[in-house]
């Protein structure tokens, strides 16, 4: 099955500013701003305290939709905004496109009037507090692509009215809130800290983690002014158990980058050790397990086929790009990025070598990839290393299929659009492939059964580490 690489979709601010019903609002928007700004009997803080404030969330994806859910549970009425009409239509019908957001909740909340999804950005004027949860990807040169943030800020500016709170949640480099977003918003003629309020508060979502969800993950907040910080803490204090305030938006922006750079650097370290251990004939997983018994001074990180998700593969490059403005090269961060982005290539090379040892060439080989999602037991495919591995295998002439119990059909992605569906796992299917490659270690997989019926298993996650039978069929990668 052939896949194709696709370019990042063209995203223009016109698409937002000319949203449905925009013509109707355009003539009356100044009057609406004046009415809502001058005739409200309560200020924003009073509305937050008595739960009459209306929330707004822009970007109804893996960050935005869970935020909507928790805001509604806290008693806020919420408007959700997205440029994807299919998402808006599904939510309006009470359907979910994210596994851990149940359709029953969407249906009940929409029917009760507590939540409404819309593609009409002129309705931003109805929201008191607006959270921006849009993507911040990298371009083809691994530099920040802030088109979503910029266009969203322009859409807000066109509808901005007094006493609105704007919160940027999208991960970005230090300075974005005050250097990019603030000047756009002030084009409205309103002044920050006086007429409207602006903060940065980074999302800290961890999909698939049953221990931590939005409410028990501390929320970092940094406002442009002390009043901006205070109002944001008041708003989010209803849904987060703990709000941590910092002095500036830049400090909050760098906090999020530090968290993910810390993980990126340590994962790069163990990935490099994995490649060395493969040459030395040492099991790196055994070494990490033994080292983790030390009760101080060591924190275990684990190697894999590469980094996935929207944060860790991307965030370090945001800081390294910004650092160049200060004539500073973040060599440590850049090296970690190079190692982690090279891992899918390493996995494919190891797969080719293992096939060669069995007299099979990679070109024309049948390979089954287990796991299209980027991490265990989720349906999120963003930046999944498994997808990159599939792409590399296809380009080298292999016939590739995939299985993922959480991804029944390959979703349209920013760079890849494979016309594939998850194949069924049967004894006959497993035996028909020259290689079965474990890219994501989902709990649903019976690894002993898979190894028993496969000819060759490439294990990138140590999913087969505890198996004792058929070890000759397993190759670590």
Note the pLDDT tens digit of each residue in 198-252.
999 999 977 667 787 788 899 999 999 999 999 999 999 999 999 999 999 999 9
Tally the residues of the chain: 477
Lowest-confidence region among 37-46, 164-173, 349-358: 37-46
Top pLDDT among 309 and 180 is at 180
Asked whether residue 469 is assigned to any structural domain, the reply reads: yes
Give pLDDT, residue 41.
34
Give pLDDT, residue 17.
54
At 363-405, the pLDDT tens digits run 999 999 999 999 999 998 988 999 999 999 999 999 999 999 9
238 lies in the same domain as 303: no
Tokens of 87: 């998402």
Asked whether residue 335 is assigned to any structural domain, the reply reads: yes
241 lies in the same domain as 308: no
State mean pLDDT over 4-17.
Answer: 48
Give pLDDT, residue 211.
81
Asked whether residue 256 is assigned to any structural domain, the reply reads: no
Q: Which of 183, 215, 247 is the last residue of a domain?
A: 247
Give pLDDT, residue 14.
55
68 lies in the same domain as 186: yes
4, 260, 364, 419, 475 from 396: Cα distances, Å: 14, 32, 9, 18, 20
340 lies in the same domain as 411: yes
Asked whether residue 254 is assigned to any structural domain, the reply reads: no
Asked whether residue 181 is assigned to any structural domain, the reply reads: yes
Residue 458 near residue 347 (C-beta atoms within 8 A): yes
Give pLDDT, residue 23.
38
Beta strand pairing status for 3-5 and 115-118? unpaired
Whether residue 112 has pLDDT greater than 90: yes
Tokens of 276: 């060395």
Give 422's contacts (C-beta < 8 A, 6+ positions apart). 372, 402, 403, 404, 405, 407, 408, 409
68 lies in the same domain as 138: yes
225 lies in the same domain as 269: no
State mean pLDDT over 259-265.
Answer: 94
At 301-346, the pLDDT tens digits run 999 999 887 777 888 889 999 999 999 999 999 999 999 999 999 9
What is the DSSP-derived secondary structure letter of residue 192? B
Cite the active site residues.
Answer: 311
209 lies in the same domain as 315: no
- Report the predicted TM-score, pTM, of the whole model to 2 decimal places: 0.87
Whether residue 37 has pLDDT greater than 70: no
How far, in Å, CA of 412 to CA of 423, rounded? 18
Number of domain units in the chain: 2
Asked whether residue 258 is assigned to any structural domain, the reply reads: no
DSSP state letters, 227-248:
HHHHHHHHHHTTT-S-EEE-SS
Asked whether residue 252 is assigned to any structural domain, the reply reads: no
367 lies in the same domain as 231: no
State mean pLDDT over 173-179.
Answer: 97
State mean pLDDT over 47-68.
Answer: 95
Q: Report the percent of the chain where pLDDT is more than 70.
A: 91
Asked whether residue 458 is assigned to any structural domain, the reply reads: yes
Whether residue 13 has pLDDT greater than 70: no
268 lies in the same domain as 183: no
Whether residue 40 has pLDDT greater than 50: no
Q: Which of 188, 222, 247 is the last residue of a domain?
A: 247
Tokens 């494979």: give the residue: 418
Give pLDDT, residue 30.
52
Q: Which of 178, 212, 247 is the last residue of a domain?
A: 247
Tokens of 283: 């099991």
CATH of the domain at 147: 3.40.50.720
The range of the structural domain enclosing residue 359 comes to: 263-476
Cα-to-chain-centroid distance, residue 281: 36
At 60-83, the pLDDT tens digits run 999 999 999 999 999 999 999 999
């Amino acid at each position: 099955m052939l896949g194709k690489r696709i370019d990042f979709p063209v995203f223009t601010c016109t698409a937002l500013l000319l949203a449905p019903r925009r013509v109707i609002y355009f003539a009356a928007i100044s009057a609406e701003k004046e009415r809502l700004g001058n005739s409200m009997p309560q200020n924003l803080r009073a509305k937050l305290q008595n739960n009459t404030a209306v929330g707004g969330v822009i970007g109804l994806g893996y960050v935005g939709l869970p935020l909507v859910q928790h805001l509604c549970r806290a008693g806020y009425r919420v408007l959700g905004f997205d440029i994807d009409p299919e998402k808006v239509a599904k939510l309006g019908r009470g359907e979910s496109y994210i596994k851990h957001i149940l359709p029953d909740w969407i249906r009940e909340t929409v029917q009760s009037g507590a939540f409404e999804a819309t593609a009409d950005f002129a309705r931003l004027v109805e929201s008191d507090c607006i959270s921006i949860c849009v993507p911040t990807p990298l371009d083809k040169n691994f530099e920040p692509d802030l088109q979503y943030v910029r266009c969203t800020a322009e859409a807000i500016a066109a509808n901005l009215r007094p006493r609105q709170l704007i919160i940027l949640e999208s991960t970005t480099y230090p300075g974005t809130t005050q250097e990019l977003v603030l000047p756009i918003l002030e084009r409205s003629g309103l002044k920050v800290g006086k007429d409207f309020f602006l903060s940065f508060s980074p999302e800290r979502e961890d999909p698939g983690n049953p221990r931590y969800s939005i409410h028990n993950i501390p929320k970092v907040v940094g406002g442009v002014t002390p009043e901006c910080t205070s109002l944001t803490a008041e708003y989010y204090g209803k849904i987060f158990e703990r709000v941590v305030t910092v002095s500036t938006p830049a400090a909050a922006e760098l906090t999020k980058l530090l968290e993910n750079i810390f993980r990126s650097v340590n994962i790069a370290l163990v990935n490099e050790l994995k490649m060395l251990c493969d040459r030395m004939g040492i099991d790196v997983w055994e070494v990490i397990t033994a080292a983790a018994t030390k009760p101080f001074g060591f924190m275990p990180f684990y190697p894999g086929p590469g980094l996935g998700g929207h944060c860790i593969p991307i965030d370090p490059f945001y800081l390294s790009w910004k650092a160049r403005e200060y004539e500073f090269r973040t060599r440590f961060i850049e090296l970690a990025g190079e190692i982690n982005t090279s891992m899918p290539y390493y996995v494919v090379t190891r797969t080719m070598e293992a096939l060669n040892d069995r007299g099979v060439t990679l070109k024309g080989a049948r390979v089954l990839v287990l796991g299209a999602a980027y991490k265990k037991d989720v349906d999120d495919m963003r930046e999944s290393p498994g997808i990159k591995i599939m792409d590399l295998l296809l380009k080298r002439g292999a016939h590739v299929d995939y299985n993922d119990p959480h991804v029944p059909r390959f979703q349209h992605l920013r760079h890849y659009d494979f016309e594939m569906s998850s194949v069924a796992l049967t004894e006959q299917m497993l035996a028909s492939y020259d290689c079965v490659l474990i890219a994501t270690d989902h709990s649903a997989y019976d690894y002993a059964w898979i190894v028993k019926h496969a000819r060759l298993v490439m294990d990138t996650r140590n999913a087969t580490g505890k198996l004792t039978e058929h070890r000759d069929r397993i190759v670590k990668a």
